[in-house]
Amino acid sequence: MKIIMLGAPGAGKGTQAKKIAEKYMIPHISTGDIFRANIKGGTELGMKAKAFMDQGQLVPDEITIGMLMDRIKEDDCKNGYVLDGFPRTIPQAESLTKALADMGDAIDYAVNVDVPDEKIVSRMSGRRACLKCGATYHIVYNAPKTEGICDVCGDKLVLRDDDQPETVQKRLSVYHEQTQPLIDYYKKAGCLAEVDGTKDLDEVFQDIAAILGE
């Protein structure tokens, strides 16, 4: 089962991707993890990607696709995988479709976790992070035992810059411009599945599992 996760930043697609990976025993693949693994392993593509990243530039699509295709050819992907964070644009989606078709393969489901913008802004502005140990909280959904203090290490919790309402709005604007068209792309391809991401996390997952099949 080959799955792509779609949804705006903060929609919860990463959380759902992990749950899918656990239930169906397939790897959860994020582009960030692939980049780190290739750079750490010193692969040719990893070194090319690092050169762009070190200059603060975006890694070209052909390098990203190359690393992704190498990853999904590994043994643990033989029963499928969940892609999280890729593709982000139509050209990336078209490149992925072509690369898979060349292998005689295709995406089975593109799952869109749909959440309205205003809900995402309130969700993300409620997030708090511990910069010391990396633990994350939410003032409504997953509050720490003591307000503003990390349960794990006792350090002070902060609202990260990328969770500030203005920053979230900017990220959503980029999403609507670049990534939203993917929904139409996969709808035309006949593999789009949409779920209501405003529900409780477990309910959203139950809806996804109903689509993918128990």
Please say if 71 is a catalytic residue.
Answer: no
Find the catalytic residue in 18, 50, 88, 199. 88
Q: Give residue-wise pLDDT tens across range 72-124.
A: 999 999 999 999 989 989 999 999 999 999 999 999 999 999 999 999 998 88
Q: Where in the chain are the domains? A: 2-26+79-116+172-212
Q: Is the peptide bond before 91 cis (omega within 30 degrees of 0)?
A: no
pLDDT tops 90 at residue 56: no
Distance CA 53, CA 60 (A): 10
CB-CB neighbours of 121 under 10 Å: 18
Q: Give residue-wise pLDDT tens across range 175-191.
A: 899 889 999 999 999 99
Please say if 36 is a catalytic residue.
Answer: no
Give the CB-side neighbour count of residue 86, counting CA atoms within 13 A.
29
Distance CA 197, CA 59 (A): 30
pTM: 0.84
Residue 214 pLDDT: 65
CB-CB neighbours of 7 under 10 Å: 24
Q: Give residue-wise pLDDT tens across range 29-53.
A: 988 889 999 999 999 999 999 999 8
Find the catalytic residue in 13, 71, 123, 128. 13
Please say if 199 is a catalytic residue.
Answer: no
- CATH of region 2-26+79-116+172-212, choose from 3.50.50.60, 3.40.50.150, 3.40.50.300, 3.10.20.30: 3.40.50.300
Q: In the predicted model, what is the mean pLDDT of residues 120-147?
A: 91
| 85: alpha, beta or left? (left if phi > 0; alpha if psi -120 to 50) | left
3-state secondary structure of 181: helix
- Residues 6, 7, 8, 9: is their CA dihedral positive or negative? negative
Q: How confident is the model at residue 17 (pLDDT cuts 50, 70, 90)?
A: very high
Q: Which residues share a beta bridge with 110?
A: 4, 192
Please say if 171 is a catalytic residue.
Answer: yes
Please say if 160 is a catalytic residue.
Answer: yes
